[in-house]
């Protein structure tokens, strides 16, 4: 199981890759917010912080604080977290492991990340539920759409774990699926990068960032921002994709108010 973060069409933010910047954002009024219900997709690699692999709890805590700020505005927020910081299914398959087995291992990695984020959120007073597409009742709830919607209506943050519960589907696809099922107004992809570019800016200094790009152009140009299946699902349901850097303090709140640096994928 993997959620790919397409570096070739996205540029690193100017923040330190191992830490969040400290410039706080002002809390907006509810009327200033662009979206009422959103799904936040966080790549597993973000949770590594400055480490080579694994979970850096300081980084998890910083992301949790960003989420807590949004939750206090009244926005209904759900999450999908990748597992690439622990295990990436495609990587395992490439080394000779059976693809299905590798993907199931990747799904378990996403559950570990979800539980770590739940712990960080609840330590700062944010009521959180983890729902897994693979039943593991001892540690989290099973995924039930109506129950998840009820949690959101009650102001709880819901973290969807274990992808779609099926091999051969990435966490990007899982995020798109859950966003559609939850009736979200936007899918926000929070990564260590700050938008979609015409080319890899590390290699091409002339590369420029898109403020907006259509679903069709993302697919036609094969921009590796999200999987084609995820982009197509968002297009079919008219849900915009917002790509931004979650490593920059206050970026999520800025995106919700239409400020900051990000790229919107829509019609």
Which pLDDT score is estimated for 2?
43
Query: Following CA atoms 243, 87, 116, 178 in sequence, which dihedral angle do they give, to the nearest 10 degrees?
Result: 50
Question: Total domain count for the chain?
Answer: 1
Per-residue model confidence as pLDDT tens for the chain (267 residues): 444 444 334 444 334 434 444 444 445 555 578 899 999 999 999 999 888 889 999 999 999 999 999 999 999 999 999 999 998 766 766 678 899 999 999 999 999 999 999 999 999 999 999 999 999 999 999 999 999 999 999 999 999 999 999 999 999 999 999 999 999 999 999 877 788 988 776 678 788 889 999 999 999 998 888 999 999 999 999 999 999 988 888 999 999 988 889 999 999
Residue 117 lies in a domain: yes
| Per-residue pLDDT at 207 | 81
Quote the tokens at residue 7.
């570096």
φ, ψ (nearest 5 deg) of residue 138: -75, -20
Nearest by Cα to 1 from 180, 227, 234: 227
Determine the Cα angle at 43 with ends 102 and 106, to 5°: 15
Residue 188 · residue 41 · CB < 8 Å: yes
Q: Would residue 2 count as lying in a domain?
A: no
In a domain, 50, yes or no: yes
Helix (H, G, I), strand (E, B) or coil at 203: coil
Q: Which residues pair with 40 in a beta bridge?
A: 79, 188
* Per-residue pLDDT, 28: 52
Does residue 229 fall inside a structural domain? yes
Q: What is the pTM of this model?
A: 0.85
Domain contains 178? yes
Counting every residue, how long is the chain? 267
Left if phi > 0, otherwise alpha if psi is -120 to 50, otherwise beta: which for 155?
Answer: left
Show the tokens assigned to 148: 């998840």
What pLDDT is recorded for position 31?
A: 53
**Residue range of the domain that includes 58:** 7-266
Q: What is the CATH number of the domain that holds 256?
A: 3.40.1160.10
């Amino acid at each position: 199981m993997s959620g790919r973060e397409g570096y070739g069409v996205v540029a690193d933010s100017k923040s330190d890759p191992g830490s969040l910047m400290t410039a706080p954002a002002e809390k907006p009024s509810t009327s200033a917010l662009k979206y009422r219900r959103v799904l936040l997709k966080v790549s597993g690699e973000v949770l590594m912080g400055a480490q080579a692999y694994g979970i850096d709890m300081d980084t998890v805590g910083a992301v949790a604080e960003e989420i807590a700020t949004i939750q206090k505005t009244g926005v209904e927020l759900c999450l999908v977290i990748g597992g690439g910081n622990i295990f990436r299914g495609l990587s395992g398959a490439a080394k000779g492991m059976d693809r299905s087995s590798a993907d199931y291992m990747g799904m378990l990695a996403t559950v570990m990340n979800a539980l770590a984020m739940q712990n960080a959120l609840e330590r700062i007073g944010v009521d959180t539920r983890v729902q897994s597409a693979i039943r593991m009742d001892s540690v989290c709830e099973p995924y039930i759409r109506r129950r998840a919607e009820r949690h959101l209506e009650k102001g709880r943050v819901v973290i969807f774990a274990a992808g779609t519960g099926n091999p051969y589907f990435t966490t990007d696809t899982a995020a798109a699926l859950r966003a559609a099922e939850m009736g979200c107004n936007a899918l926000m992809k929070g990564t260590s990068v700050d938008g979609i570019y015409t080319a890899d800016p590390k290699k091409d200094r002339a590369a420029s960032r898109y403020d907006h790009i259509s679903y069709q152009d993302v697919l036609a140009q094969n921009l590796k921002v999200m999987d084609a299946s995820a982009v197509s699902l968002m297009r079919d349901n008219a849900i915009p994709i917002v790509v931004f850097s979650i490593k920059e303090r206050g970026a999520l709140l800025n995106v919700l108010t239409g400020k900051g640096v990000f790229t919107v994928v829509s019609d």
